[in-house]
Chains A and B, each alone.
Chain A
Amino acid sequence: EAGVTQFPSHSVIEKGQTVTLRCDPISGHDNLYWYRRVMGKEIKFLLHFVKESKQDESGMPNNRFLAERTGGTYSTLKVQPAELEDSGVYFCASSQVGAGVRGEQFFGPGTRLTVL
């Protein structure tokens, strides 16, 4: 069974441009999470979907970030316009219903975003 996949693995963009990150969770996992690690800092929660609904978006840094999960399958995270401080590694994770609270989140390899 395929794990959580993320695309692209790396993205280098200019400040002010738009970037869209994609996450495909494990099939059947209703919970989908986005996290971010800025260089040298801890991994921080961004938001949590249950199917297509946003359960918790308390970690989204500002309105330049837009996450969607249409149809409750894959998710996208758009940054528009990108700023230098958005650089970092963006992780996606998924879990089955009820498993998230027990920490059984499965992580993807991450997308490394560099904003120049």
Chain B
Amino acid sequence: AQSVTQLDSQVPVFEEAPVELRCNYSSSVSVYLFWYVQYPNQGLQLLLKYLSGSTLVESINGFEAEFNKSQTSFHLRKPSVHISDTAEYFCAVSDKAQKLVFGQGTRLTINP
């Protein structure tokens, strides 16, 4: 069985500061890794994913995540956040069974 742990339920940061949202997973098989984002009053959107190849993956809005197999982690980072990044972020894994297994979510709040 797979599981995902997001260690921080809430992360407050100041605008233009860097941020890291932590994600650790547990699985006995190879997995695919994802970060989803839910902006206020919207559905979940895929932010970025790791399937294979380069362990560093990037999104179009400046986020990046690095797959670390030895530490079973997939932390999400952004060097400088903006007010518009305020959202809840979900780390998820899946295997070939297709269903996604999510972490508990991290609420990112940006203070001006």
Which residues of A are interface residues toward B (Cβ below 8 A)?
Answer: 3-4, 31, 33, 35, 41-45, 48, 55-56, 58-59, 91, 93, 100-110
In the complex with contacts A41-B104, A103-B92, A109-B97 CB distance below 8 A: no
Question: Which single member of B45, B51, B100 contacts A45 (CB below 8 Å)?
Answer: B100
B-chain residues with CB within 8 Å of residue A44 when the two chains form the complex: 102
Q: Please state if A48 and B32 are interface contacts (CB–CB under 8 Å).
A: no
Q: How many angstroms between the C-alpha atoms of A59 and B101 in the bound complex? A: 11
B89 at the A/B interface (Cβ < 8 Å)?
no
With an 8 Å Cβ cutoff, the count of chain B residues facing the other chain is 25
Contact residues, B28-45 vs A (CB, 8 A) = 32, 34, 36, 41-45
Chain B residue at minimal CB-CB distance from A58: B99
Task: Contacts A35-B102, A56-B99 known; list 6 others, CB within 8 Å.
Answer: A4-B43, A41-B104, A59-B99, A102-B32, A103-B46, A104-B49
B-chain residues with CB within 8 Å of residue A103 when the two chains form the complex: 32, 34, 46, 49, 51, 92, 94, 100
Q: How many angstroms between the C-alpha atoms of A82 and B32 in the bound complex? A: 35
Q: How many angstroms between the C-alpha atoms of A41 and B104 in the bound complex? A: 6
Residue among B43, B96, B97 with most chain A CB within 10 A: B43
- Closest 4 A-B residue pairs measured CB to CB? A107-B44, A100-B98, A43-B102, A45-B99
Chain B residue at minimal CB-CB distance from A55: B98
Q: Please state if A42 and B99 are interface contacts (CB–CB under 8 Å).
A: no
Q: Please state if A42 and B98 are interface contacts (CB–CB under 8 Å).
A: no
A-chain residues with CB within 8 Å of residue B103 when the two chains form the complex: 42
Residue among B45, B97, B98, B103 with most chain A CB within 10 A: B98
